[in-house]
Structure 1
Amino acid sequence: MYTPAPFRQHDLPTLHRQIAASGLATVVSRGASGLQASHLPLLLEPAEGELGTLYGHFARANPQWRDLENGGEALAVFSGPDAYVSPGWYPSKAEHGKAVPTWNYIAVHAHGRAELFDEPERLLHLLGRLSERHEAGRAQPWAVSDAPRDYIDAMLRAIVGFALPIQRLDGQWKLSQNRSPADQRGVHQGLNSSAASGDRELAARMPSAH
């Protein structure tokens, strides 16, 4: 990922928090049929390995998992909030007019070589962890044990799990850090006054918000 210096995010706990907050990732790989991408919920184990390890699963019918056999390389992309930035929000525009639109966003790219697995108990553990994470906070959280075991066994046969020990982690927090403090405040005010919740979420992440 091309990341200009002002936007680079190096702090590992911050990168891990964004991965956990994103939930759904785009997993990209290259195989005999070219590039393939799948949108998958991933689970991060931050203490496994130097940069953490991601876990997820493919539908067995999805041919992409075969790209990852024998340690195939994969890229997991986690997208945070993003928003259009109008040049009209820059006070500097009124001074010299030298401004163009841009797009602010938060993104994390995790690179690694996958390790596939299909042992039923290991898959069951993964599904249980994923369900616990996303059902947390519900009045009546669903658990894998709520479904009949023979049904779950059939579902397990229909998926292929993978671990992705992270070998490289790139973060980009593009939040107008390359603009003057006045322009940054203008962007924050513009985003924060937007009717779109994603715009306001991004405004809260800007350095000028703190």
Structure 2
Amino acid sequence: MYNPNGFAIKDVDELHQQILGTRLAMVITHGAQGLQASHLPLLFRPDEGPNGTLYGHFARANPQWKELQDGAEALVIFAGADAYVSPGFYPSKAEHGKVVPTWNYVAVHAHGTAEVFTDADRLLGLVSSLTDRHEAGRAQPWKVADAPADYIDGMLKAIVGFALPIQRLEGKRKLSQNRSTADIAGVREGLAASPDVHDQALAHLMR
């Protein structure tokens, strides 16, 4: 991604937190079928490898897993909060009028090549961990073991898992750092006052 130094996330823990906080990632590959993208929930193991390892699965009917099997590099995007920034938020607009709209956002990109697997026990461990993560906090969490074993066996045959050690990791926090202190405060206050929850989430990051 285009990532000027003033916007780049350098702190590894912050990069990891953005990955962990993104419920649905975008996995992009380029191979014989051209560009392909899938939206997938992923598990992140930060202690596996120098940059951590991502785990997920495709529907077997989705041909994208074959690109990974053939060694295609994957780009995985973890998109965070984002918001449109109106020139009307800037106090400097009244001073000189030399302002234009922009967009503030947070995003992390992970690059790597993956290992594809179809072993039933390994797939079961993966889907169980994914389920436990997203069921956590419910009054009565559903577990994979709640479904009939033969049904789960059949479902596992319909998916293909992958493990993707992250070889390159980069992140961007574009939160009006290139503006004056007054303009930053104006953006933060303008977004916080918006009825849009996405605007409010971005304003929270600017505190």
**TM-score normalised by L of structure 2:** 0.99
Secondary structure in 1 aligned to 2:107? strand
Aligned twin of 1:18: 18
Mapped to 2, the partners of 1:135 and 1:32 lie a distance apart of 37
Aligned 8 A contact 1:81 1:201 in 2: yes
Question: Which residue does the alignment assign to 1:53?
Answer: 53
Alignment-mate amino acid for residue 103 of structure 1? W
Match of 2:203 in 1: 203
CA positional deviation for 1:70: 3.8
Aligned partner letter, 2:84? Y
Structural mapping, 1:56-75, within 5 Å: 56-75=56-75
Indicate the SS of the match to 1:108: strand
Specify the code of the residue in structure 2 equivalent to 1:73.
E
State the TM-score, normalized to the length of structure 1. Answer: 0.97
Question: What is the CA–CA distance in structure 2 between the aligned matches of 1:170 and 1:113, rounded to whole Å?
Answer: 16
CA contact (8 A) 1:70 1:115 kept: no
Residue identity in the other structure for 1:93: K
The secondary structure found in structure 2 opposite 1:6 is: coil
Measured on the aligned residues, the alpha-carbon RMSD in Å equals 0.7
Query: Who is 2:76 aligned against?
Result: 76
Measured in 1, the distance between the counterparts of 2:99 and 2:64 equals 43
8 Å Cα contact 1:19-1:44 kept in structure 2: yes
Q: How does 1:180-195 map to 2 (within 5 A)?
A: 180-195=180-195
Give the conservation status (yes or no) of the 8 Å contact 1:56–1:126.
yes
3-state secondary structure, aligned to 1:88: helix
In 1, the alpha carbon distance for the partners of 2:190 and 2:41 equals 32
SS of the residue 2:100 aligns to: coil
**Cross-structure match for 2:152:** 152
- The within-5 A match list for 1:86-165 is 86-165=86-165
| SS of residue matched to 2:6 | helix
SS at match of 2:19: helix
d(CA) in 1 for partners of 2:69 and 2:133?
28
CA contact (8 A) 1:23 1:43 kept: no
**8 Å Cα contact 1:112-1:168 kept in structure 2:** yes
| Counterpart residue type for residue 170 of structure 1 | E
Q: Which amino acid aligns with 2:18?
A: Q
